[in-house]
A and B are shown apart, each in its own frame.
Chain A
Amino acid sequence: MSETYHHSFHKILNVRHLTENTFIVQLERNGLNFIPGQHLVVGKKGDKEFRQYSIYSGLNEPYFEILVREVAKGSVTPKLKKLVPGDELEINGPMGYFTLSEQRRQSHPIVMIATGTGIAPFHSWVSSFRDMNYQMIHGVRKSEEAYGNGAFRKDRFRLCTSQEINGHFHGRVTEYLKKAYFSPDSLFYLCGNSEMIFDAMEILKTKGMNTNNMFAEVYF
């Protein structure tokens, strides 16, 4: 992996605001290689505060993107929100093991479960691997938070909205999991806050799913 490791500054190409507090930062690729699902350590150039962000974009794009949700009174995200094209970020990475091997994606149904911006690594997966047999279950409060849902096939995407009734399912993602059927040989990938991940794993266990087939990336 040393060939893919990067530690340098990257210019911002574009910032797309998806909601009032969620945005995508697009950066020049500048030689950065990664395995979809990996994350980066990101900070404003010259700043001393850093945060981790999963790569949101696909492997074959000439740029890379991160999906950011502004944290009120946070020490990094408000600064990132103010960035404009031409500004630079310090990028360290890629890192992490929340990746999907070809062997796994060709031999198992893949169930991706995310809350909020936890959809980022899955967006990178489906943008990179066209041959996946997958289900994407995305839990949000409102349908406007269905970030990047256009990348997923409509028949494989389930939006669970807890504060609106215009998703595929009204309620939390964990409620959906209780009612859903999964093939026993499925591999489950979970990304989001730690409470959701724990609850979801417990629900899947009660459904007889093997914990060895569950993989998680915690978002804070």
Chain B
Amino acid sequence: MVLGCQMNLSDSERVKSVIEAMGFTPTENEAEASLLGVLSCSVRQKPIDKVYNKIYVWNRQKNHRNIITFVSGCVLPNDREKFLKLFDFVFPMSELNDFPNMLKNYGIVTPLSLNHSNSQLLEGGNKMIFPLPSTTGETPFKPIKKLNQNPDKPILPVNQDIFGLWNVKPSYQSSFEAFVPIQNGCDKFCSFCAVPYTRGREISRPSTDILDEIKSLMAEGYKTITLLGQNVNSYGLDREGELSFAQLLQQIGELGNQLQNPCWVYFTSPHPRDMSRDVIETIATYQVLAKQIHLPLQSGDDQVLIKMNRKHNLDRYRESVGQIRELIPQATLFTDIIVGFTGETEEQFQNTLKSFEEFQFNMAYIAMYSPRPGAQSYRWDDDIPPATKKDRLHNLSETLETISFNYNQKLIGSQVKVLVKDKERKTGFLSGYTEGKIVTRIKSKDVSLIGKFVVLQVTEASGFSIAGELVL
């Protein structure tokens, strides 16, 4: 089970590789799985609650069948402590490479280790083999490695170990969309966020490795590549002599020029503080760099931004948007917003509403504030009533829809390039998105087009999508 952001999705591709290398076969059917795991998310309480629900179910199943459970991903120290009592394995993503050893030390023989093991706990079959369940109903496995039981081991993630994770070749889930991690961790300490305590400080992946992976993906014909990190545009700041983010994009742009395979390269998420003109100029220069920018604002009020410890104000954000409009006028602009942050007044919310009018976002991921244990703001009163938060969410969403509709309506009659991503379950029609990530419905049921670029004549527009017919 993968919860949370695209970073976890990307990590899951590496988890899959490691597990498959041990000889496990993936299954969609949870009831037949022998090894069950969660990549957790700590951005809000809801995903953490899902983890607790899931492990409760799995642990009940242990009474009548053999399963091994693990949890990794974004986990706060306090949750980790509780998970240690519930899961068989709890480890940070940076220790993924050690997972086979953890299993081995746990007394479990994997199919691929059969030839090298003298374990007496084996029982036939060509899949994962477990010891027989104990008659007492307790798990027969006695964990010998669990996190943080060594008092000399730091509690916070040791982020240098993340290089081991990045060295794992991912099992890409899609044949045309790929995620490439370029950076991990966060040094920004926004007051509403606990990520610095779950993923550790900012660490950049070596640019040579990133470029190798991207080159290979482009050569294989991948249509979109998304560079991932908590603060992608802080890339390189932690490594002496490393490329800057703008330089990295430039190198990717050059690769795109060399290979000439049509591809859109995105990145998420950047931080407004580090959004330099260099980065925007580079995006404008290279065709392969998608003309869509996701720039989290979080609030349109300077006082709230200070309280959020965002390290940028509205003027700084305005400057970046101005540069985007100047250098890449065709770019679409996405953002993230939190409504109902501690102490947010009606006037401050109105400033956020005004910022939507000013910046003309195409899409915004709007969240109602909820305090997260571990984050600075957890200690503050969550004093905005839920009904007010809902109203603000609703108001902002309506404004966004109007702005987005106005933009989309202007596309009617034009031809746009679209990547076909999927088939709608209800109608059977294809769906996809433009370079600007505008959701697109395609009046065709030709599933052979999935994973391909097509040209669409736009005939309809709605709040958050467009629709049209294939241009033959």
The answer to whether B303 has its CB under 8 Å from any CB of chain A is: yes
* Inter-subunit contact B156/A198 (CB<8 Å): no
The answer to whether A181 has its CB under 8 Å from any CB of chain B is: no
Kindly supply a per-residue 1/0 record for chain A positions 58-83, scoring 1 wherever the CB is within 8 Å of any chain B CB and 0 otherwise: 00000000000000001000000000
Identity of the chain B residue whose Cβ is nearest the Cβ of A3 in the assembled complex: B240
Contacting A at CB under 8 A, from B55-79, are 77-78
Kindly supply a per-residue 1/0 record for chain B positions 131-168, scoring 1 wherever the CB is within 8 Å of any chain A CB and 0 otherwise: 00000000000000000000110111011100000000
* Inter-subunit contact B303/A198 (CB<8 Å): yes
> How many A residues are at the interface, by size bracket?
20 to 34
* Inter-subunit contact A211/B306 (CB<8 Å): no
Q: Which residues of B contact A43 (CB under 8 A)?
A: 155-156
* Inter-subunit contact B191/A220 (CB<8 Å): yes
* Inter-subunit contact A93/B201 (CB<8 Å): yes
Contacting B at CB under 8 A, from A155-210, are 194, 197-198, 201
* A174 smallest CB distance to B (angstroms): 14
* Inter-subunit contact B156/A50 (CB<8 Å): yes
* B235 smallest CB distance to A (angstroms): 13
Q: A1-B238, A2-B238, A45-B151 are in contact. Are A90 and B201 (CB under 8 A)?
A: no
* Inter-subunit contact A90/B306 (CB<8 Å): no
Segment at the interface with A among B20-28, B307-315, B350-358, B435-443: B307-315
* Inter-subunit contact A216/B306 (CB<8 Å): yes
* Inter-subunit contact A90/B187 (CB<8 Å): no
Cα A9 to Cα B238 with chains together (Å): 21
Cα A85 to Cα B81 with chains together (Å): 28
Q: Could you say which of A45, A49, A218 has the most chain B C-beta atoms within 10 Å of its C-beta?
A: A218
Cα A220 to Cα B158 with chains together (Å): 25
Cα A216 to Cα B307 with chains together (Å): 11
* Inter-subunit contact A197/B306 (CB<8 Å): yes
Q: A1-B237, A2-B238, A198-B302 are in contact. Are A50 and B197 (CB under 8 A)?
A: yes
Cα A48 to Cα B239 with chains together (Å): 28
Contacting A at CB under 8 A, from B81-106, are 81
* Inter-subunit contact A48/B158 (CB<8 Å): no
Kindly supply a per-residue 1/0 record for chain B positions 226-239, scoring 1 wherever the CB is within 8 Å of any chain A CB and 0 otherwise: 00000000000111
* Inter-subunit contact B306/A194 (CB<8 Å): yes
Q: A1-B237, A5-B238, A220-B376 are in contact. Are A41 and B303 (CB under 8 A)?
A: no
Q: When the two chains form the complex, which single residue of A46, A49, A92, A212 contacts B151, counting CB atoms closer than 8 Å?
A: A46
Q: Which residues of A contact B156 (CB under 8 A)?
A: 7, 41, 43, 50, 90, 92
* A206 smallest CB distance to B (angstroms): 14
Q: A90-B156, A96-B187 are in contact. Are A48 and B238 (CB under 8 A)?
A: no
Identity of the chain B residue whose Cβ is nearest the Cβ of A45 in the assembled complex: B151
* Inter-subunit contact A211/B78 (CB<8 Å): no
* Inter-subunit contact A5/B201 (CB<8 Å): yes
The answer to whether B189 has its CB under 8 Å from any CB of chain A is: yes
Q: Which residues of B contact A218 (CB under 8 A)?
A: 191, 306-307, 309
The answer to whether B432 has its CB under 8 Å from any CB of chain A is: no
The answer to whether B300 has its CB under 8 Å from any CB of chain A is: no
The answer to whether A30 has its CB under 8 Å from any CB of chain B is: no
The answer to whether A47 has its CB under 8 Å from any CB of chain B is: yes
Q: A46-B155, A47-B155, A211-B315 are in contact. Are A41 and B238 (CB under 8 A)?
A: no
> How many B residues are at the interface, by size bracket?
20 to 34
Q: Which residues of A contact B239 (CB under 8 A)?
A: 1-2
Q: Which residues of B contact A198 (CB under 8 A)?
A: 302-303, 306
* A98 smallest CB distance to B (angstroms): 9
* Inter-subunit contact A9/B152 (CB<8 Å): yes
The answer to whether A95 has its CB under 8 Å from any CB of chain B is: yes
The secondary-structure label for the interface of chain A is mixed
The answer to whether A107 has its CB under 8 Å from any CB of chain B is: no
* Inter-subunit contact B240/A92 (CB<8 Å): no
The answer to whether A106 has its CB under 8 Å from any CB of chain B is: no
Q: Which residues of B contact A197 (CB under 8 A)?
A: 306
Q: A5-B238, A48-B78, A197-B306 are in contact. Are A95 and B201 (CB under 8 A)?
A: yes
Q: When the two chains form the complex, which single residue of B154, B160, B376 contacts A90, counting CB atoms closer than 8 Å?
A: B154
Cα A216 to Cα B312 with chains together (Å): 9
Q: Which residues of A contact B151 (CB under 8 A)?
A: 45-46
Q: Which residues of A contact B303 (CB under 8 A)?
A: 194, 198
Q: A7-B154, A41-B156, A220-B191 are in contact. Are A2 and B240 (CB under 8 A)?
A: yes
Q: When the two chains form the complex, which single residue of A50, A95, A211 contacts B313, counting CB atoms closer than 8 Å?
A: A211
Q: Which residues of B contact A96 (CB under 8 A)?
A: 187
Cα A92 to Cα B199 with chains together (Å): 12
Identity of the chain A residue whose Cβ is nearest the Cβ of B203 in the assembled complex: A2
* B231 smallest CB distance to A (angstroms): 12
* Inter-subunit contact B306/A8 (CB<8 Å): no
* Inter-subunit contact A92/B306 (CB<8 Å): no
* Inter-subunit contact A8/B201 (CB<8 Å): no
Kindly supply a per-residue 1/0 record for chain A positions 1-35, scoring 1 wherever the CB is within 8 Å of any chain B CB and 0 otherwise: 11101011100000000000000000000000000
* Inter-subunit contact A92/B154 (CB<8 Å): yes
The answer to whether A52 has its CB under 8 Å from any CB of chain B is: yes
Q: Which residues of A contact B307 (CB under 8 A)?
A: 194, 218
Cα A48 to Cα B154 with chains together (Å): 10
Q: Which 7 A-B pairs have the closest CB atoms?
A: A48-B77, A95-B187, A194-B307, A194-B306, A198-B303, A218-B309, A92-B156
* 15 A–B contacts from the bound complex (CB under 8 Å): A2-B240, A5-B201, A7-B160, A8-B154, A43-B155, A48-B77, A48-B155, A50-B77, A50-B156, A92-B156, A95-B187, A194-B306, A198-B303, A211-B313, A216-B306
- Residues on B close to A: CB < 8 A? 77-78, 80-81, 151-152, 154-156, 158-160, 187, 189, 191, 196-197, 200-201, 237-240, 273, 302-303, 306-307, 309, 311, 313, 315, 376, 379
- Residues on A close to B: CB < 8 A? 1-3, 5, 7-9, 41, 43, 45-50, 52, 74, 90, 92-93, 95-97, 194, 197-198, 201, 211-212, 216, 218, 220
Known: A43-B155, A74-B379, A201-B302. 15 other contacts (CB 8 A): A5-B238, A9-B154, A45-B151, A46-B151, A48-B155, A50-B155, A95-B189, A97-B273, A194-B303, A198-B302, A198-B306, A212-B315, A216-B306, A218-B306, A218-B307
